[in-house]
Structure 1
Amino acid sequence: MWNFGFNPGPPHFPLPIKELSNVKEEVYGALDTYVAWELEFPLVTVKKVLKTLQHEKEWKRIIQVTKWMLSKGQGKTMGSYFTLLNALAKDDRLDEAEELWTKLLMRYTESLPRKFFDKMISIYRRRSMHDKMFEVFADMEELSVKPSISVVSTVGNVFKELGMMDKYEKLHRKYPPPKWEYRFIKGKRVKIKVQGQSNYVDKYIRKHDNVEPDSGLRDDDSSEENSELTDDEQFEQDADVTHMEPEQIFYESSESTEPSLDV
């Protein structure tokens, strides 16, 4: 633990944050003490802490550290907001996750990366909240955000389960399986032709350990178990949206304002 006695000095990294209680004031106080010794906010160090906590699945700590960082006016990136959204969902704090999602959607309406939509659809799917899942998909269509393969499959499966075969057929007519998939192989982006089923590339990944998904081009890993911290550079790629056909599966109008993202 840190020494606050006769030999004052800066706390050492890594922070003993896991030894603290879940009391917000104690965690914030420890973090405030750490940054008090820094001339500039140690953003890189804090993000390393977040990645370590994410690897260890310390969702409560991720929420506390991220909220503290944002309260300092630091790290306000799409990566940080996604980290917080994912942790809130993992910690089963659905109300807070929905509140954050709503603020992000209203403020960054036309520039919100696709991965956020994928995450919310995954959250609602796991909880069988089908109406809300359809609302998110409707928002995607209204904003001309091209859905990932996994989202099309997820929404289609729910249509089948609910006996909504007309919408199921309409969905797959509009979003047929792609002919090409993009992957990173040994650090290089590679275009792979899909053969047969749309899960061909997933089978390829299981066969080749050195293949990693390109989150900016294909977000098939949108389930909560597979969600990982994503670098800000990847979010820049993921922010690209593709315009679709005028016809939509859903359409719901909504007024948008720009609220403050106080989390």
Structure 2
Amino acid sequence: MLSLKCTPPYMSGVSLITLPQKSSHIVVCGARGPRPRYPRVWRTTKRIGTISKSQKLVECIKGLSNVKEEVYGALDSFIAWDLEFPLIVVKKSLKTLEFEKEWKRIIQVIKWMFSKGQGRTMGTYYTLLNALAEDGRLEEAEELWTKIFSENLENLPRIFFMKMISLYYKKDEHEKMFEIFADMEELGVRPDQTIVNMLADVFEKLGMLDKCDKLKSKYPPPTWEYRYFKGRRVRKQVKQIYSSNMRPELPFDNGVTTEYVRNSI
């Protein structure tokens, strides 16, 4: 019996090549030989995030002098190739400078950002006010406070009142403390316990014991407080007894965000 084998026309002239089981980056072609695979040029391994970019911004302005044109020129060249203003990068660099207590650099960066028409928020204004107060520029801090207070009369956060009262408490300017406290009561802003302690201490120094007692009876110390622990709001009973003999703690010295509430039960 005869058996005939016919080779298909599309298989003629092509040699079969056995490929190894392990895949490699070289693709073997029967006609032209091995062809290397090059990495794609549009995929980069180095990625610059906002944290590393903010660190570069801090390093860029740290070694400069205090000349306005030099600092502004360095900041302009840093964001020259950005399509949009890097607001997040600048805010993170401000946090780094605030942690390192570089108050002059904070003032320069914020004023440069304001000149670009960016970042005019309450948080940025408070950072600028705090930097001016820590740098000893009392007149500029008062001008900024007057501007913020006149523009945001009804929705000004309590943190600004606390900062100005603590600033005047350090400078022993009691009349200005009383003026800001009167504005707080007129606007219906409840003072924090640190403000009450500072005002009570000033009343005792001036011999106004009746006003001190009236202030303490109007704003008694809280029995409960809320602390933020690992991103959660936890209610905790106050163990510390506030007295007039204690030195009043200035706000934000301990780095813990605390909100005092009076127990109504």
**TM-score, scaled relative to structure 2:** 0.71
> Any idea what the Cα deviations from partners look like across 1:182-209, whole Å, max 9, x if unmatched?
101232111112246149xxxxxxxxxx
**SS of 1:96's equivalent?**
helix
> Contact 2:226–2:234 at 8 Å: present in 1 too?
yes
Output the amino acid matched with 2:65: S
The answer to whether the Cα contact below 8 Å between 2:166 and 2:250 also exists between their aligned partners in 1 is: no
Equivalent positions of 1:109-124 (< 5 A) are 109-124=153-168
Structure 1 pair 136/227, CA: closer, same or farther in 2 (3 Å)? farther
Aligned residue number for residue 191 of structure 1:
235
Aligned-residue RMSD, C-alpha: 2.3
The equivalent position to 2:126 in structure 1, one of 60, 82, 106, is 82
Which residue in 2 is equivalent to 1:49?
93
Could you give the per-residue CA deviations for residues 134-191 of structure 1, whole angstroms, max 9, x where no partner exists? 1111111111101001000110110011001111011011101112111012321111
Closer, same or farther: CA 43–196 of 1 in aligned 2, 3 Å:
closer
- Pairwise CA distance, 1:227: 8.3
In the superposition, relative to structure 1, how do residues 158 and 221 fare at CA in structure 2: closer, same or farther (>3 Å)? closer
Structure 1 residues 47, 196: closer, same or farther in 2, change over 3 A? closer
Query: Is 2:209 aligned against 1:165?
Result: yes
User: d(CA) in 1 for partners of 2:76 and 2:180?
Assistant: 37
Cα distance in 2 between the residues matched to 1:99 and 1:150? 24
Provide the rounded CA distance (Å) in 2 between the counterparts of 1:221 and 1:124: 11
1:107 aligns with 2:151: yes
Which entry has the higher C-alpha Rg, 1 or 2? 2
1:219-248 CA deviation, whole Å, 9 max, x = no partner? x7516xx287x9xxx9xxx9xxxxxxxxxx
Q: Which consecutive segments of 4 or more residues in structure 1 shift more than 2 A?
A: none
Aligned 8 A contact 1:184 1:190 in 2: yes
Question: Could you say if the C-alpha distance between residues 30 and 227 of structure 1 is closer, same or farther in structure 2, counting changes exceeding 3 Å?
Answer: farther
Aligned-partner Cα distance in 2 for 1:197–1:87: 32
Gaps of 5+ in 1: 1-11, 200-219, 239-263
For residue 76 of structure 1, give the secondary structure of its aligned residue in structure 2: coil
For the residue of structure 2 that corresponds to 1:14, the secondary structure is: helix
2:11 — aligned with what?
A: none
Partner in structure 1 of residue 26 of structure 2? none
User: Does the C-alpha gap of structure 1 residues 67 and 119 become closer, same or farther in structure 2, counting only changes over 3 Å?
Assistant: same
Which letter does structure 2 place at the counterpart of 1:79?
G
Q: Secondary structure at the match of 2:194?
A: helix
Structure 1 residue 63: Cα displacement = 0.3
Kept after mapping to 2: 8 A contact 1:70/1:76: yes
For residues 227 and 99 of structure 1, what CA distance do their matches in structure 2 show? 28
CA deviation string 1:60-106 (max 9, x = no partner): 00000011111111111111000000000011000000000000001
Tell me which residue corresponds to 2:21: none
Distance 1:227 1:120 in 2: 18
Tell me, yes or no, if the aligned pair for 2:224 and 2:235 is still in contact at 8 Å. Answer: yes
Contact 1:63/1:88, CA 8 A, preserved across alignment:
yes
TM-score (norm 1): 0.71
Q: Is the 8 A contact 1:121 1:151 kept in 2?
A: yes
Where structure 2 has 5 or more consecutive residues not aligned to the other structure, the ranges are 1-52, 244-248, 260-265
Identical residues among aligned pairs (%): 60
CA distance in 2, matches of 1:101, 1:40: 30
CA distance in 2, matches of 1:227, 1:63: 23
Determine the structure 1 residue equivalent to 2:66. Answer: 22
User: Aligned AA for 1:182?
Assistant: Y
Partner of 1:153: 197
